[in-house]
Amino acid sequence: MASQNEEEQTEDYLFKIVMLGDSAVGKSNLLARFARDEFYQNSKSTIGVEFQTQTLDINGKEVKAQIWDTAGQERFRAVTSAYYRGAVGALLVYDISRQQTFENISRWLNELHTHSDMNVVTILVGNKSDLKDSREVATSEGKSLAEAEGLFFIETSALDSSNVTAAFQMVVKEICNILTKKVIQSQELDKQDPSWTGDGKTVILKGEGSEDASTVEAKKGGGCC
Would residue 25 count as lying in a domain? Answer: yes
Residue 195 lies in a domain: no
215 CB-near residues (< 8 Å, 6+ apart): 86, 202, 203, 204, 205
Evaluate whether residue 223 is within a structural domain.
no
What pLDDT, on the 0 to 100 scale, is given for residue 8?
A: 47
pLDDT of residue 79: 66
Residue type, 181: K
The H or E element that residue 8 is part of is helix 4-8
Residue at 79 is within a domain: yes
The contacts of residue 51 (CB under 8 Å, 6+ apart) are 66, 67, 68, 69
Mean pLDDT to the nearest integer, 102-111? 93
pLDDT, mean of residues 155-174: 95
pLDDT digits (tens, 9 = 90+) for 29-51: 999 999 888 887 766 555 556 77
43 is a domain residue: yes
Q: How far apart are the C-alpha atoms of 208 and 186, rounded to whole Å? A: 13
Q: What is the pLDDT of residue 189?
A: 62
> What is the total count of domains within the chain?
1
Per-residue pLDDT at 24 exceeds 60: yes
Q: Is residue 214 part of a domain?
A: no
d(CA 102, CA 94): 5
Q: Please compute the mean of the pLDDT values over residues 118-146 and round it to a whole number.
A: 95
Q: Show the domain range for 143.
A: 4-174
- Inside any domain, residue 188: no
pLDDT of residue 45: 57
**Residue 201: is its pLDDT beyond 70?**
no
Confidence of residue 73 (pLDDT cuts 50, 70, 90): low
- Residue 182: inside a domain, yes or no? no
What's the rounded Cα separation, in Å, for the pair 104 and 130?
21
Q: What is the mean pLDDT of residues 9-16?
A: 72
Task: With beta carbons less than 8 A apart as the criterion, state whether 154 and 166 touch.
Answer: yes
CATH number of the domain that residue 61 is part of: 3.40.50.300
